[in-house]
Structure 1
């Protein structure tokens, strides 16, 4: 089955294409999958030249334009595609799923051994995306080596994708690993509190709300002479400045 050469009457781009392969192809293209890769994934007959032809079909163009309008749907579909790829990479067990078993004689009895991999079955499975490279023997054409996605890296990406990262605990300590030093301001007089506020405001970064962009608000509120210690009261000394 193939799509007509032009848009039929009353074509509605909001309705999925009648041919599921072209619908799948259009969705993959909207998600940014390459033309040839999308055609293969959708099950369309692909050659090195005809893949762009699928992308230029009027119905596919109209359907892609409609799908591209729904950002939320495109993002959700792309997220699902990434999820499926990572799951395939994380869970692929080539020997368990695609091993070819043979028998060898050991100590007078036959023992099952892995004699090869069913690459054809792997190629046509949804696990094939996890295989990233092959090496073949030039003379025999037999595959001698293959590479695959790192399963631990795929698991790590899935963990980050769904927020499964374990929470980190941070413990604050004082000097030398001791307790954090605190100041009991309840014992200070009003004049000392005003002086402390003025010192902290002066030390705050430029533009700080407390310091004020238009001047020292604490100083504006202080009465004349408020920055000086009251008669009979010791001067305020901050921790670390004690002489």
Structure 2
């Protein structure tokens, strides 16, 4: 059989490549504005609701980190996608809320979990990682705005932040979890000042944690989506979670990232 011609056969590549070029222009402009190097910021392509073919198109455009909200969707699409792009393999990021009862499945599939939001979940992931004989990279999801609709460790008030430091001290004792940094979700609002404030406060929190616990790098800051990632980059994001801006006009109902 002849060799695959993925760029010719995948109908989504042209749209994704065009969109990626526009996203790249936005990233570079934000990096220039913030005095940062482009290589300090990586894209996680949010593939919630996307087909394996669309995901293969993204991968072949150079987007190697793919972010799924639900473990069920990741598990269903993973074998189809990886058969299509073999011998390539994406980095699988879990970016949505993780139920504790699904920790074992998530630990078996994820290369990075962005959304550890409770001690109970962390302990479940620790046990699953230990059983699987691996170290599991994770981020702690924090809520600096106090929005009731947002998950994450409370980090709005000084008391919240002191409590978070105590929690981190506990989590540092979990030998199979590599806590690499923080993740946050900004409020859905047209007021850019409010969004920037959330990103700035999260970055300042990460800097404080780094000072208190210097034995870890705390190098990862996951924040910013399609509509606000420039602000996130200007405030220190190292991972941006981008879906709509990469895949439109291939829109799915419920796109926000």
Q: When the two structures are superposed, what TM-score results if normalisation uses the length of structure 1?
A: 0.24
Higher relative contact order (CA 8 A, sep 6+): 2
Q: When the two structures are superposed, what TM-score results if normalisation uses the length of structure 2?
A: 0.23
